[in-house]
């Protein structure tokens, strides 16, 4: 009788053994510098492991090394929007907002409709009190349908940050945010119609409708 040979992993080697890059990807968030260093030593051109090394340093609150690795990634991949985004996130994490502005702007240039990039840029510009840039980013995000940025744009317009207050435009964006499911916007729109302000006629039925929807969505008065 012929002997059937089992084909598979060599004796003593696990069939599902991780590569250095796979281990780096799995453990970077836990600050495993060694795993990512091993992956890069095995393949100096492994950009994914280099990005994960930056994440590992970030997990350990090691700003200088985190920034150094991000700068290396950008030097190798100057047109990689995610590389600029990651660097901006790292800088913002350490509250270095002014330094984060340049990579945030570059990420926006490369991916102008990416919502995470728009939200990050808004945070950076707000912390810098760069109202014109903040307004431009909010307008962009709101125009492409992000309810969080619609709501923030409404607050920007209501408060007149960087310009004159515009309560009517603020109400319109607030209502759009509510229509897209923003619960606080629903509650605020309900109050506006109940009181009849910001360019809206008093409408108790509409106010009650928005209040009820807010309650259904989980708003606790």
pLDDT at 8: 39
Global pTM value: 0.82
Contact 192, 171 (CB under 8 A): yes
The per-residue pLDDT for range 24-71, each reduced to its tens digit, is: 999 999 999 999 999 999 999 999 999 999 999 999 999 999 999 999
Q: What is the DSSP track for 19-80?
A: PHHHHHHHHGGGT-HHHHHHHHHH-TT-HHHHHHHHHHHHHTT-HHHHHHHHHHHHHH-TT-
**What CATH superfamily classification does 129-221 receive?**
Tetratricopeptide repeat domain (1.25.40.10)
pLDDT at 204 over 60: yes
Q: Which residue has the higher pLDDT, 221 or 99?
A: 99
């Amino acid at each position: 009788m012929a002997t059937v040979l089992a084909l598979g992993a060599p004796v003593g080697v696990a069939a599902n053994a991780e590569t250095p890059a796979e281990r780096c990807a799995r453990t970077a968030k836990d600050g495993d510098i060694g795993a990512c260093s091993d992956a890069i030593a095995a393949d100096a051109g492994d950009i994914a492991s280099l990005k994960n090394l930056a994440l590992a340093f970030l997990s350990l609150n090691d700003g200088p090394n985190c920034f150094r690795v991000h700068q290396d990634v950008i030097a190798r991949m100057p047109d990689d929007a995610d590389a600029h985004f990651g660097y901006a996130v790292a800088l913002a994490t350490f509250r270095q907002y002014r330094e984060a502005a340049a990579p945030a702007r570059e990420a926006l240039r490369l991916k102008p409709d990416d919502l995470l990039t728009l939200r990050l840029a808004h945070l950076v510009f707000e912390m810098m009190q760069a109202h014109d840039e903040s307004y431009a980013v909010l307008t962009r995000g709101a125009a492409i349908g992000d309810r969080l940025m619609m709501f923030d744009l409404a607050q920007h317009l209501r408060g007149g940050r960087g310009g004159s207050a515009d309560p009517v435009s603020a109400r319109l964006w607030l209502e759009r945010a509510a229509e897209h499911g923003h619960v606080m916007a629903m509650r605020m729109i309900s109050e506006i119609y109940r009181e009849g302000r910001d360019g809206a006629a008093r409408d108790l039925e509409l106010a009650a409708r928005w209040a009820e929807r807010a309650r259904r969505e989980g708003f606790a008065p």
